[in-house]
Amino acid sequence: MKTVFCLDDKRPYLMLLKVAVRSLRAVQGEDAPCLCVYAGQDAALLEALDREGIPVARYRPRIDPAGLTPLGQACAGCFLKLELALVPELAHDSHVLYCDTDVFFRRSLQELFALRPPYMGMAREYTAPFCHEHQSLSYRYRGESYTVPMPFPIWTFSSGVALFHLEKLRQRELVEHFMAFCQENESRIGNLDQSLLNYFFGKRITRLEDRWNCPPYRQECDTAHIVHFHGPKPWATGPDLADLRINHFERMSRLWMEYLTDEERAEVAAWQG
Ligand SMILES: [Mn+2]
């Protein structure tokens, strides 16, 4: 199964991606299949991906950033994962493991790769409560109107790691319906791509165990297979989100830094904040 990442032209995300792929290869072997779906136009960045040996699928998103809210536009890259079933380079992949670039692999993924969730598998997110102002959301597709009742509020699934059953999403125009839902409702939801997945797919999402997506600030992180720098990024030292730099954060940051060259470490040190 391919591990898929998405990237636009935000420079720090390239560094995150490099470590994600280096740690993937450390855990799964040098030939672990991966793909970077790239929505930008930066030749230097493409060169960097090439030097790193990361295969790239250049992709023009269906969800046009120009049609999004200001917050959506600022975070446009996060919506790319919603379109993986439409990426031509993945047309023959029945399942993929999508991961944010801010993850870091620590242990084998074999058990995760063996799972076959009916639609998608995602782990729980503990810091984002499930809440919404709407009883239902609607959208139009091919002249018809559809209503999506909001799922019963239990918890929110994190979109940082998602095992997508792409074949299922391509059946019965499900992904087309989802795109129509996203385009119409991005302005009505709270938490970007994650809310769109949670609200549209609701109970069709299969829960993954916490070890497949664990933030460093949770105590359980020590035994996680995939660490997700959800919240403060590994180089963070400033006051922003300082309350989440607890438990294993410092140690996981150090482990993350070990994947960098001296030059990269110097670059990262200048970001701080
Ligand atoms: Mn993330």
| Cα of 213 from ligand 1 centre, angstroms | 10
**Lookup result for tokens 């991606």:** 17
Higher-pLDDT residue of 131 and 184 is 184
The domain 2-125+158-170+206-266 having CATH identifier 3.90.550.10: the answer here is yes
Angle between helices 174-185 and 192-201 (to 10 degrees): 130
Strand partners, 141: 144
pLDDT of residue 110: 98
Q: How far apart are CA 259 and CA 261, in angstroms?
A: 7
Give residue 131's pLDDT band: very low, low, confident or very high (50, 70, 90). Answer: confident
For residue 48, how far is its CA from the centre of ligand 1 (angstroms)? Answer: 21
CA of 224 to the centre of ligand 1 (A): 15
Residue 148 C-alpha to ligand 1 middle, in angstroms? Answer: 26
Expressed in angstroms and rounded, the spacing between residue 200 Cα and the centre of ligand 1 is 20
Provide mean pLDDT across the span 223-236: 95
Among 55, 35, 149, residue whose Cα is nearest residue 97 = 35
pLDDT grade for 27, boundaries at 50, 70 and 90 = very high
CA 162 from centre of chain: 7
Percentage with pLDDT > 90 across the chain? 83
160 Cα to the center of ligand 1, angstroms: 5
pLDDT for the residue numbered 257 = 97
pLDDT band at 153 (very low <50, low <70, confident <90, very high): low
Instruction: Give me ligand 1 centre to Cα 84, in Å.
Output: 17
Of 153 and 246, more confident: 246
Q: What is the average pLDDT score of the chain?
A: 94
Calculate how far, in angstroms, residue 64's C-alpha sits from the geometric centre of ligand 1.
21
Task: Give Rg (Cα) of the chain.
Answer: 18
Q: What is the distance between the alpha carbons of residues 193 and 31, in angstroms, rounded to a whole number? A: 30
Centroid of ligand 1 to alpha carbon of 146 (angstroms): 30
Residue 100 Cα to ligand 1 midpoint, Å, equals: 5
Question: What average pLDDT does the segment 176-200 reach?
Answer: 92
Cα–ligand 1 centroid distance for 115 (angstroms): 22
Half-sphere exposure of residue 151: CA atoms within 13 angstroms, side-chain side: 17
78 CA from centroid of ligand 1 (Å):
9
Question: How many angstroms does the Cα of residue 44 sit away from the middle of ligand 1?
Answer: 24
At 66 the three-state DSSP class reads: helix
pTM: 0.96
Residues 6+ positions from 220 with CB-CB distance below 8 Å: 210, 211, 214
Gap from CA of 88 to ligand 1 centroid (Å): 24
Calculate how far, in angstroms, residue 149's C-alpha sits from the geometric centre of ligand 1: 27
Structural tokens at position 249: 């954060």
Q: Could you tell me the distance, in angstroms and rounded to a whole number, from the CA of residue 141 to the centre of ligand 1? A: 30
Mean pLDDT calculated for residue range 209-214: 98
> For the chain, what are the domain ranges?
2-125+158-170+206-266
Alpha-carbon distances of 108 from 18, 105, 177, 182, 214, rounded to whole Å:
18, 8, 35, 34, 15
Span from the CA of 174 to the centroid of ligand 1 (angstroms): 25
